[in-house]
Amino acid sequence: MFLDDLINGLKEFRQALDINDILFKVWQDPVIQDYIIELNTNQQLRLGQKSNNQSMPDYASLDYLGAKRSAGLRKIAGEETDLFVSGNFYATWNVIPLRDGFEIEADTDIYGKDFIRIYGLDILGLNDKNMAKLVDRLKDEIITILKERTQKAFNSI
């Protein structure tokens, strides 16, 4: 009996330390999902950067367009794309939790253009700087979950 309880307790302890299981729980949190989308919004729509740390070619950031408009200049045919102005594009973003990470999905075929085709799949992801921000944001939450799970697993032994 004692040995069976010990084995079951150790199995629970092992499960408690499964980082993929912990992260899957974290990715399901709507607050974290909103934070991921916010990071991607700032990275892509404001800065014109892709998840592979490269700039989006022929992209006009909100700051650039604002300065241009305040100077009285208008958009001309063939000019850079701005995905931020109406909000229709980033309003379609969702975070899909996976056991080994997450994916960002969005309706990229909008405004009569397919932005995946123009800029590539790397528009839906976080660059190194934003991944570091996400990791920093998640540290305390992951530690809290680990403490709760290990305590529960120890109590079951």
* pLDDT, tens digit, 9 for 90 and up, residues 51-83: 998 887 766 655 555 655 665 555 544 455 555
Spell out the residues 6+ positions from residue 116 whose beta carbon is closer than 8 angstroms to its own: 108, 109, 123, 124
pLDDT confidence of residue 103? 93
pLDDT confidence of residue 97? 94
- Cα torsion through 136, 141, 143, 149, rounded to 10: -150
pLDDT confidence of residue 33? 95
Residue 1 in this model has a pLDDT that exceeds 80? no
pLDDT in tens, 85-141: 556 676 788 999 998 899 999 888 876 778 888 888 888 899 999 999 999 999 998
pLDDT confidence of residue 77? 46
Return d(Cα 156, Cα 5) in angstroms, integer: 8
- pLDDT band, very low/low/confident/very high, at 84 (cuts 50, 70, 90): low
pLDDT in tens, 35-46: 999 998 888 877
Phi/psi at 102 (nearest 5 deg)?
Answer: -150, 160
pLDDT confidence of residue 68? 53
pTM: 0.73
Residue 13 CB-half CA count within 13 A: 11
